[in-house]
């Protein structure tokens, strides 16, 4: 495993497993399988409705809690009472701290939500702070109003949309980028690009493994999701080879500025703020 050095001195694994869209049973089993085969980074969220299951998977694995980088996110309808939301998240996960906590969406009173995360950080309930899905202007608004600079930003990132400009901004603050949709939402036109097929043959890997290795070599933390044990193992088997600088440059040429998630911020405000769920009513 390779690690990213966060701007507060914490080391975070460069590859982990995501649990988006996984049912509680699937999330518990995926986390268990991932930890048993060497993963040490787990990503979940209030809104995934599987935090309790993720906590069970960690306990069932037998891996020590302090050896796991546990990541979750509080939902935008909870920002006004973020202190309570954070305590409830910890209770659902069955832990007294998380290693990284995100604001999940850039809507609602996200400044108040971030201040709650800062309080949790100072209290030792959260080891690192992050922003998920924040556009540049709202990202900068947090920076202008925060006491503690975030450690990680989580956004859609893949070879068709490598977030080149954002990464220049993050570099100034020593912030990491965590990539969701790292394989382009499973788009076969991306995964089957000739460059990936050729490099897969050269290194004895799959196309997906080549893409995930590209992510880690350009400094991205990746969290591909799967409930298939074989895919889980394969997605972590990417650190026994290295792409050359020339190969990384060739992959960079695939940038199309293409996103798979395109909801306007105004529509997000309407949709997400109306999404009120009982996050404690989980299995």
Q: Which residues are catalytic?
A: 48
In angstroms, rounded to a whole number, what is the distance separating the alpha carbons of residues 40 and 19?
14
Q: 92, 52 in Cβ contact below 8 A?
A: yes
In angstroms, rounded to a whole number, what is the distance separating the alpha carbons of residues 161 and 54?
29
If residue 156 lies in a helix (H) or strand (E), which one and from where to where?
strand 152-156
Q: Give, to the nearest 10 degrees, the angle between helix 82-93 and helix 110-122.
A: 60
Using CA atoms of 205, 208, 209, 210 in order, give the dihedral in degrees to the nearest 10. Answer: 80
Q: 248, 217 in Cβ contact below 8 A?
A: yes
Edge to edge, the sheet with strand 17-18 lists 17-18, 41-43, 69-74, 100-103, 129-132, 152-156, 176-180, 220-222
């Amino acid at each position: 495993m390779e690690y990213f050095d966060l701007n507060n001195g914490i080391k975070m694994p460069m590859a982990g497993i995501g649990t988006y869209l996984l049912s509680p049973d699937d999330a518990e089993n995926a986390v268990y399988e991932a930890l048993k085969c060497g993963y040490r980074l787990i990503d979940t969220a209030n809104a995934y409705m599987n935090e309790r299951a993720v906590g069970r998977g960690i306990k069932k694995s037998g891996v020590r809690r302090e050896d796991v980088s546990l990541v979750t996110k509080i939902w935008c309808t909870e920002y006004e009472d973020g202190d309570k939301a954070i305590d409830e998240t910890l209770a659902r996960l069955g832990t007294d701290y998380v290693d990284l906590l995100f604001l999940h969406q850039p809507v609602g009173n996200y400044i108040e939500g971030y201040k709650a995360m800062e309080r949790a950080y100072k209290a030792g309930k959260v080891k690192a702070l992050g922003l998920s899905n924040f556009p540049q202007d709202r990202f900068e608004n947090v920076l202008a109003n925060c006491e503690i600079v975030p450690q990680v930003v989580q956004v859609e990132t893949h070879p068709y949309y490598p977030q080149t400009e954002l990464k220049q901004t993050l570099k100034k603050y020593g912030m990491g980028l965590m990539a969701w949709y790292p394989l382009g939402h499973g788009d076969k036109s991306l995964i089957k690009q000739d460059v990936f097929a050729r490099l897969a043959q050269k290194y004895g890997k799959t196309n997906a493994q080549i893409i995930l290795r590209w992510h880690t070599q350009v400094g991205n933390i990746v969290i591909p999701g799967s409930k298939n044990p074989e895919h889980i193992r394969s997605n972590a088997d990417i650190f026994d080879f290295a792409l050359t600088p020339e190969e990384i440059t060739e992959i960079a040429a695939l940038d199309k500025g293409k996103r798979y998630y395109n909801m306007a911020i105004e529509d997000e405000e309407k949709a997400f703020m109306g999404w009120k769920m009982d996050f404690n009513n989980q299995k």
